Structure formats: C-alpha cells, structure tokens
Structure 1
Amino acid sequence: MIFKKNSKKKGKMDMKKWNKVIQFGLLGAALVGLAACGNEATDAEGSSAEGLEVINIAATSTPHAEILEQVKEDLKEKGFELEVTILDDYPLYNPALDAGDVDANFFQHTPYLDSYKEETGSEITPVAKIHFEPLGIYAGKTKDLADIKEGAQISIPNDATNGGRALLLLEANGLIELKEGSGITATVSDITKNEKDLEIVELAAEQVARSVQDVDFAVVNANYALEAGFDVQNDALASEAIDSEAAEIYGNVLVVRKEDVEADKVKALIEVLKTDKVRDFINDTYKGAVVPLF
C-alpha cells in the first residue's frame, strides 16, 4: 500500500460523519476515476453495456488500479465487467465500500483497515492478500553496509508503523539489536545493542528519501524511493523479506462487505488476481518496489 500521510482522529467516528465526507468528495473523485480507467456506463441494475454483471472497485492509481487493469479481460471471460474508481483521498475508500458505492476496495493493509473498523464499527472484510511494498536501506554518504563507521547516521521514518519496520530491518542486517518481543511496534527506546553507536535520525516518511545525501544510510518506503529516482531492485542494499513479519502484517488486501465474502463475483476476482500473469506483471513493472504475496 502506497500511503500518503494521514492523521488519525481520536475516539469513535460516527458513520454519518463518514457518509457526509463521501457526499462532498465521492462524486467528483469517482467521475475522475471512471474517466481515467475507461469504465463503461452501467444500467440501474448494475449491468454493463454488454450485459455483464459489474464489479466496481475503488483503488489507488499506483499500483492497485494498474494491477486491476491486468485482469479486466479475464473477468469478462467469467461474466463480469470490472470498473475501477480512483478516489481523491484515503479516508474516502472504506466509507465508500460501507455505503455500497463500490463493491470492493484495494488500497490498504490490515492495520489500516483494523483502525477504521475500530473507529466506525464497520464489518468490511479482507478476502485476499495480494502484494507487499517493502522498505529498503539505501546508501548515502557510505556506499556499503560492510563499511559502516562508528557513529554513522541512519535516517528512518518517524511514524509508528514504518519506524518499527525500519528498526526490524536494521536488526535483520546486524546493525542493532532490539528488546526481545518488541516486534513491529519497536521504537528507538527498544534498542538494546548498538555496538557502533549508530545515530538513528527519525524523519517524516516522505522526507527520508530526501535526506539520503545527508546521512550514511536511509531506510525508505518503496513509493518514496521510486519518487526519489531510486531503482528499488538494484539500489536497495537490503529490503524487507517476503517472509518477514512486516510482509505478513502489511500485505495489501482486497476488501469487501461482510455479506459479499462468498459472492461469485468476489471469488472470480480473487481467482484472476492470484495468477502467474498478475505475478509476472508486478515483478516486471515494479521491480522490487511491489512484491506479490501469492
């Protein structure tokens, strides 16, 4: 999931408030998304011009909508017309699904979904884990991890989600040790061993890639690495492994309403997404910035 920074509000969020957000933002955003993705008009009963049952999915443009575009023809062969709606902001996606404006969404990892469900009481449900967007360690002033010096500076994201992942990645590469059991929620205070007295510089996730030239190494989110011009596959000195705790927790999921979990259209969508064709597209297109989990 390629995330923009999103502030979290405290306390329970009233579903009416979410629906009010949709009323102001969903229509214009959906029109932009439909135009961008070449969707066909549907009738009042949810059928396409070709008489196929429509599956409307809200997805961010990169990589989610791009991945979905690869399965349109495969779904047609199964009797379904895929429409992809691109919305303007992350907080719109789950309420749009709850309100029935779309049949599914594809943009988030499970912790983000769980947070929304806790705040709203929603019962929307993940049905398939599709891909993972790994953090990587990139060279700054020092070009090789083997040459790391005493007191070297390493910048990492300062948010709870990515900061913990970054520290686990540093631990996996022998640079630090963390308190046993600290896991994905680790913070710098959980560092128990730091033989080279490394200085951990915490920055906003979007700023870390821009800091590379000022530090020895930087732990960067894949999307920001791409934006900064890195070749993720070749430039990352180390990345989160596909069998890492982060990959298990932060894999991006396809989400539907609870009552649609066993629907034929959902089963068909999962089947066409989890194919060699889609796996090859992800690997060939994103070159390590996005990793298939099937």
Structure 2
Amino acid sequence: MKKTSLKKSILASLAVVPIAALLAGCAGPASESTESETETVKIGVVGASDPYWEIYVDAAADEGITVELVDFSDYNQPNPALAEGEVDLNQFQHIIYLADYNEANGQDLVPVGATAIYPLGLYSTQYENVEDIPDGATVAVPNDPSNLARALLVLQSADLITLDGGGSAYSTISEIDEAESRVKVTELDPTLTATSLPDVAAAIINNDFIVDSGLEATDAIAQDDPSDPNALPYANIFAARAEDKDNETFKKLVEIYQNTPAVTEAVIEHSGGTAVMLTTPVDDLVASLKTVQEQIAEQG
C-alpha cells in the first residue's frame, strides 16, 4: 500500500456516527457579542440535523451562548472553514483526521475538548469471551489500512496479539510479534469479516456492517478501550484555531457537551448505543495530536 493511499484511506474511514449529508451553510463573520451579553459561536458540523444538536444548542442557550451550526456537506470542508475564520469551532472529526489535515495543509488547528469515541468491536459466534478463544485460533480483521491498524490495536488491548513497539495508528500485520501473540490474524475485505464468523474464532467488524450481519454493537466481546492510549487518536473532538485554544467560551461549550445528560443520551441513542462519551483532558488530546503528526511526518 502506498503511503498516499494509506492517508487517503484514513480520511475515508472516520470513526463517526453515519449522518445525512446536507448542503453547506453560508459563511459569515465568526463569533460576535450582542448588547444583551449573549455570545454567538459558529460551530462547523457535518449533519446538523442529527437530533442531539438541537438539544445541545438549547443547553448552550441556557448558559447564555448562542450556538449557530454551520452545516457542511462533506468532511473536506469544516477544517478549511475553521482555518479561514468562517467558523469558530468545528466538531466532526477524530484526532487522526485533524493530524492529517494539519500536516497536509501546514495548519495548526488544535483540539479543545473531547466528545466521544465510536468503538470498533470484536465479535464471535463461537465464544462468549475473549478468554475463551483458544491459542492458535484465527481472527479476521478488515484489510483497509486505517481500520486494519485500529483492529490490530483492539486485538492487542484484548491481549490476543502483541505489536512491535506497542503499535500505532499506522500499524500493519507485519508488525505482529507472533511469538508473543495468542492468535493468528487474517486480513479480509471489510464487507467479509462478518460473514467469516462461522470459519474463524472471531472477527473485527466495522460499525457499518454490524446490523447487516445480524449482530448488535452490544454483542462485541472486545472493543476499543477509551482508557488505552492507543485508542485516543480515534477520539472525536471539538477543534479550534491555535490562538483560541484558551478561549473560555469554547471551554464552556465543551463542558456543556460533556456534562449535559440529555446531550449524552441523545448522542448514544443516535449512535445505536456504540458511542462512549469522553472527558479526556485537553493536554492528552494535544499530546496525541502531536504524536500522530510526527508519525505522519516520518512517513514522508
């Protein structure tokens, strides 16, 4: 796989809840204050019609902040809009996507708060627990590069394999330390990992194919552990321009998202129960972004 293709695949496989594409909102001035001391903040999103956004906007209004959602039709638009000052924040991406954008465009957009991670799960029709999978058994993983790397990290967190150097968001199957691993790993097209379950001990199944395979997200016997540093690059975030990283209003908006029960319930429901809400410290998000950007730079 060429490095360019790898990066493109990563961009194509964001760990976000599926959403309906809508036309982009009109650009205009960024944040502004009114005489009534109500501050307006423009947030770029992809899928403003998702139910939890209305709840979030109302919760922000209760705190004296008017949130104006600027809806974009695809993932390529919100970061340039943020960089150019057309919006104040955006919320649609995980750290890996932001890192790739920054490196490709010479930008320094930064995370100012975590929202959720949408776990990638390991499923089995033969075993109810990871511990029951016998040594030497075969586990299937999707072969598209970004999901492959993430799948390998899931298997490592489940103590099924060990990756050289602890693995990264760009790990490949060649990095598996077979002598230190419990299972063998086979790569399959993402559409086939679910149908492979009768023939393998377990399989990593992309969220898009869970329902079609007759499974539910809650059937997973292992998944990303949000407390595992290797999962952190897949955390979805609020992003801002570097000069706004300490903006108190933006910090308040992050708190509203993280601490409003109705928002939490709506996000989880919209994700089909897969979302794991996060309150990860911003310093950890920034450190993860730096690490991923360094990995991208090393690949050239």
TM, length-normalised to structure 2: 0.70
Structure 1 pair 241–182 and aligned structure 2 pair: CA distance change class (3 A)? closer
Structure 1 position 238, deviation (Å): 1.3
SS at match of 1:69: helix
Match of 2:41 in 1: 55
Structure 1 position 106, deviation (Å): 0.8
For 1:165 and 1:252, locate their aligned partners in 2 and report how far apart those are by CA, in whole Å.
15
Match of 2:255 in 1: 271
Structure 1 position 275, deviation (Å): 0.4
SS at match of 2:177: strand
C-alpha contact (below 8 Å) 2:141/2:203 kept by paired residues: yes
Match of 1:17 in 2: none
Match of 1:139 in 2: 124
Q: Larger deviation: 210-219 or 143-152?
A: 143-152
For 2:53 and 2:30, locate their aligned partners in 1 and report how far apart those are by CA, in whole Å.
24
C-alpha contact (below 8 Å) 1:208/1:220 kept by paired residues: yes
SS at match of 1:219: strand
Structure 1 position 162, deviation (Å): 2.7
Match of 2:225 in 1: 241
Structure 1 pair 87–203 and aligned structure 2 pair: CA distance change class (3 A)? farther
Structure 1 pair 7–167 and aligned structure 2 pair: CA distance change class (3 A)? closer
For 1:215 and 1:137, locate their aligned partners in 2 and report how far apart those are by CA, in whole Å.
12
Match of 2:68 in 1: 83
TM, length-normalised to structure 1: 0.71
Q: Deviations over 1:96-146 (max 9, x none)?
A: 222333222111111211111111112222111121111110124666545
Percent identity among equivalent residues? 31
Structure 1 pair 221–246 and aligned structure 2 pair: CA distance change class (3 A)? farther
The answer to whether 1:251 aligns with 2:235 is: yes
SS at match of 1:89: coil
The answer to whether 1:182 aligns with 2:176 is: no
Match of 1:115 in 2: 100
Structure 1 position 245, deviation (Å): 2.1
Unaligned stretches of 5+ residues in structure 1: 1-5, 10-27, 35-41
Unaligned stretches of 5+ residues in structure 2: 9-21, 280-300
The answer to whether 1:262 aligns with 2:208 is: no
Match of 1:30 in 2: 24
What is the RMSD of the two structures over their aligned residues, measured on CA atoms? 3.7
Return the letter of the residue paired with 1:54.
T
Return the letter of the residue paired with 2:44.
A
Structure 1 pair 29–210 and aligned structure 2 pair: CA distance change class (3 A)? farther
